[in-house]
Amino acid sequence: MKKPRIIFCLILIGSFLLILEILSRAQTTPVEKSRIIINADLGRETISPYIYGHFSEHLGRCIYGGFWVGENSSIPNVRGIRKDVVEALRKIKIPVLRWPGGCFADTYHWKAGVGPKEKRPSMINTHWGGVVENNHFGTHEFLDLCEQLGCEPYICGNVGSGTVQEMAEWIEYMTFVGQSPMADWRRQNGREKPWRIKFFGVGNESWGCGGNMRSEYYADVYRRYRSYIRNFSGNRLYVIACGPYSDNYYWTEILMREAGRLMNGLSLHYYTVPGGWANRGSATKFGEEKWFDTMDRALKIEEYIKRHKAIMDRYDPEKRVGLIVDEWGTWYQVEPGTNPSFLYQQNTLRDALVAGLTLNIFNNHCDRVKMANLAQTINVLQAVLLTQDEKMILTPTYHVFDLYQVHQKATLLPLELTAPDYEFEGKKIPALSASASQDEEGRIHLSLCNLNPRQEIPLICEIRGKAISEIKGRILTASKMNEHNTFEEPERITPVAFKGARIEGQKIFIRVPAKSVLVVEIN
């Protein structure tokens, strides 16, 4: 009787081992499927630092209470501009800042915002809450802010309610070195030397809040305004035409056909709105359904970029005209108890993943994408900073810009990515987003986003064309999908050192945690 029992036990043990083997193979399947090949010797395109730009509009508390507190404020400031905000943005090497809008730009008359503050007329912000503002933050203050930040100004001119003369005189006021009515007025207002202005936009969302124009009509309006935008005193403007929202390819076709030769850049706007405009959910109270929908919608910007690029390539095969994504980011319901017109929302790990995958897409299309501006810098939509009186906190999105600053001015490295899908309730999207670059010192940086909130992704990374010997990294993740920083707990979510990678020969083995943004440096 003992022998059959022994055989039976052996059969049980064998079956158990077989099950373990099957499970082991199932668990290692992602290893076999998840691979990145980085061609370190094939980099050609430079990632423009302006891809990491930001956007500041006279909306809610972005300007007043965000950047600007006034010279007499008890909050530490330099000529009315918050010191803590400047220090935080300098740390992430903010390259360019767009102002004064947005929709506000096409109601903004710049002459009301210069001269002695006590004499500046107030105005009604008809787009954002009907609040009355005193125009204390105008041209001089904005350009002072840019000088403090060490970034390029990107000014958006008023086409919707302004005139050709008004726009032409603004440029003369800011950039002309000689004697003229506008240059002399600038000197009277305290600025002897002209500013160097690099980027200038001709209207904002002219298909909507900027005038409800047809593409054919705006193309003619742009051609007219562009004729009077002058390069004074050696200052050369990079002039940006108003482009489409998301998938309006007809607008791009018409603008490139009718005015492409007269522009340096064409804008593109796209917001990630989970549930759609009518059903925007909470910024902090959501489950995996909203998480998946957010990632799915965020990824769509790559399709839009590819198709707009194809149109631009037909009219501009030399890629002289840049695609300028000067408004992008997440858009949810406002925080409870706040003004609905101020667009104040919290910022979670979910927003960090949207930022990471979007920046990866911009990097990978840097042959045409020459600038992008996150909406918006402080206290509005997908802000990198939130302020409350004298307090300021860094959002998860801020930390992504901090991690990704290594890509600025680096050479894009082509990569081949094979990875599993992230599946949820019968739908699926790519689980892994990536981009890679090499800086002037020869260091390779690989940025990875695991969009799956439940599963890590084991990854094999092969480096071709360069010997490697060292790897280190930093990661942003949390135990909860909706983790966020608060004024009471400002460091709930912050980057930490990453230890989950090792080198074997020319291959790197990385375990990318669930719902994480990871940047590794390879030497």
- The catalytic residue positions are 205, 327
3-state secondary structure of 348: strand
Cα separation, 513 vs 353, whole angstroms: 13
DSSP 8-state secondary structure symbol assigned to residue 43: -
Q: Mutual orientation of helices 396-404 and 349-364 as an angle, nearest 10°?
A: 30
First to last CA, the chain: 65
334 CB burial (10 A radius; 0-12, 13-18, 19+)? buried
Task: Pick the closest to residue 501 from 474, 477, 476, 479 (CA basis).
Answer: 474
Task: Pick the closest to residue 429 from 293, 331, 243, 285 (CA basis).
Answer: 293
3-state secondary structure of 47: coil
Ramachandran category for residue 421: left, alpha or beta (phi over 0 → left; psi -120 to 50 → alpha): beta
Task: Pick the closest to residue 243 from 371, 133, 124, 363 (CA basis).
Answer: 371
Cα separation, 431 vs 423, whole angstroms: 8
**Six-digit token string for 327:** 């408004």
Cα separation, 182 vs 172, whole angstroms: 6
Cα separation, 296 vs 272, whole angstroms: 9
Whether omega before 382 lies within 30 degrees of 0, making that bond cis, reads no
3-state secondary structure of 170: helix
Which DSSP string do the residues of 112-159 spell out, in sequence order? GGSS-GGGSPPEEETTTTTEEE---S-HHHHHHHHHHHT-EEEEEE--
Please name the residue that has the structure tokens 């909406």. Answer: 375
3-state secondary structure of 284: coil
Helices (H), 260-391: 288-315, 349-364
Amino acid of residue 380: V
Q: Which residues pair with 153 in a beta bridge?
A: 97
Q: Which residues contact 455 (CB under 8 A, 6 or more apart)?
A: 30, 431, 514
Neighbours of 290 (CB within 10 A): 18
Which secondary-structure segment (H or E) carries 96? Answer: strand 96-99
